[in-house]
Amino acid sequence: MSLDIKVPPVGESISEVTLSQWKKNNGDYVEMDEVIAELESDKATFELTASAAGTLKVIAAEGDTLEIGAVVCSIEEGAASEAKAEEVAPAEAPAAADNEESDEKPAQAGKEIEIKVPPVGESITEVTLSRWIVANGESVEMDQQIAELESDKATFELTAETAGVLSHIAEEGATLAIGDTVCKIAAGGGKPAASKPAAPASDNSGETKAAADKSPGYAAGTPSPSASKILAEKGIDGASVKGSGVAGRITKEDALNAQKPAPQPAAKKSEAATSPAAVASGSRNERRVKMTSLRKTIAKRLIAVKSETAMLTTFNEVDMKPIMDLRAQYKDKFKEKHGVGLGFMSFFTKAVCEGLKEFPAVNARIENEEIVYSDFADVSIAVSAPKGLVVPVIRNADAMSLAEIEKAVLGLALKARENKLTIEEMTGGTFTITNGGVFGSMMSTPIINAPQSAILGMHNIVERPVAIKGQVVIRPMMYIALSYDHRIIDGRESVSFLVRVKQLLEDPARLLLGV
């Protein structure tokens, strides 16, 4: 019986490995769990072990790049050499019994379990299968992460409900409804034997590996898969990069640190004289990336807001000197007492909450033919996350102090960058604040975060001359913008609200006194 040995899963983010070295030769007899080859990813080196005793048949060659689940070699079980046959002769009966037991295991496993899309939130009816973590046909353990599901609000991990062999049904990129079948697991299987640690008795293979690590390198100057991509993007020849990996292999870190050698002036002039077109040519590469579910949903909602609301934007400007002076005076004491820095967002949030109390229409929303007024302020803060714009919510911001707001903003921002925000943390909100100033924006017209009726846009702070009491002075000024739904908020309310926010920011004492 021939048994295929495949590349085992070696990490969530690793999709391919390089066969760096064969520890056994084609046709050699190998014992179960004996190290037969060395695999290398862009992060680490792994040992491939034999899942059964028998004669090795090499399929992949040294230096080949293999995907997870690809066949590396096969083992003809029981095909031992004459010497081995004599050694194992007395134990033939027990071995046969073992083989019979192992052959019966799949039959005993029998039952297939369907893994379906779980409910992930009240408002979510479908998700996208963004990535398979475990390859088709691989063995999984109970509660092991096998896939990533992505909704328009967050990313979720799908786990195995039992140990067994995974069989894919849905493909990456497929849109699935809640309750749809994603995959099946043939119950009773376990992790592939290739993931077991090498047997302690393999002293010779350990010596071989040590010798290989010290050798000048069969892989010297050869980049790992990820390193190869990085070098190609930089336009750097791998031969010019010194590798720090096993046997001199170029790792991902080596590629990231590599610099393109400066051209020699003489050679450059010669090339320009002989081939002027070559100097003027440049890269014209293009690449296509499928839109994520989050990005598609953002696009649909923004277009819907533009077409379904009577959106207008009004502008004003704020002299930020009073707040900046206050921060400079108390920021050290504030951080020492509260353990968090004093930023601009807490001042703007407090000012907005005060303004919403005076102009409740700005904090309202339209539902069918009714206007819903909220007597609380749940302020949404727009945050740029790795997978796109997300808007987590600070609940009851109107009842919070500056320190509590700063802590809430920091916590939500960290979760957003790590893709750990929950549905509850991004659901709701009565008013939104977005800060384009951190990216250098001077002025913009932010789009309303439906079903809310207004959004405040902050921008960068620029020193410029302004007239104050008949004198021209240099002040740090910021433009602020309020986009609002004119169906529910009149011009008087929108302008008055923005003026009130400006007054509170230019005189921060009002925030503390409530006047």
**82 token code pair:** 């004459």
Task: Report how far residue 250's alpha carbon sits from residue 224's, in angstroms, rounded to the nearest whole number.
Answer: 6
The three-state secondary structure class of 275 is: coil
Which H or E run includes 243? none
Task: Report how far residue 240's alpha carbon sits from residue 465's, in angstroms, rounded to the nearest whole number.
Answer: 54
The three-state secondary structure class of 325 is: helix
Task: Count CB-CB contacts under 10 A for residue 451.
Answer: 16
Task: Report how far residue 412's alpha carbon sits from residue 383's, in angstroms, rounded to the nearest whole number.
Answer: 9
For the four alpha carbons of 425, 426, 429 and 434, in that order, the dihedral sign comes to positive
Task: Report how far residue 455's alpha carbon sits from residue 119's, in angstroms, rounded to the nearest whole number.
Answer: 31
Task: Report how far residue 446's alpha carbon sits from residue 389's, in angstroms, rounded to the nearest whole number.
Answer: 13
**439 token code pair:** 């990216």
Task: Report how far residue 376's alpha carbon sits from residue 426's, in angstroms, rounded to the nearest whole number.
Answer: 17
The alpha-helical segments, DSSP class H, found in 14-132 are: 82-88, 92-109
Instruction: List 47's β-bridge partners, or say none.
Output: 38
What are the catalytic residues? 486, 490
The three-state secondary structure class of 154 is: coil
Judge residue 127's burial from the number of C-beta atoms within 10 Å of its C-beta, 0-12 exposed, 13-18 middle, 19 or more buried: buried
For the four alpha carbons of 295, 299, 305 and 306, in that order, the dihedral sign comes to positive
- The answer to whether 424 and 392 have CB atoms below 8 angstroms apart is no
Task: Report how far residue 246's alpha carbon sits from residue 217's, in angstroms, rounded to the nearest whole number.
Answer: 8
Task: Report how far residue 296's alpha carbon sits from residue 480's, in angstroms, rounded to the nearest whole number.
Answer: 28
Residue appearing with tokens 């009004």: 314
Task: Report how far residue 504's alpha carbon sits from residue 508's, in angstroms, rounded to the nearest whole number.
Answer: 6
The three-state secondary structure class of 232 is: helix
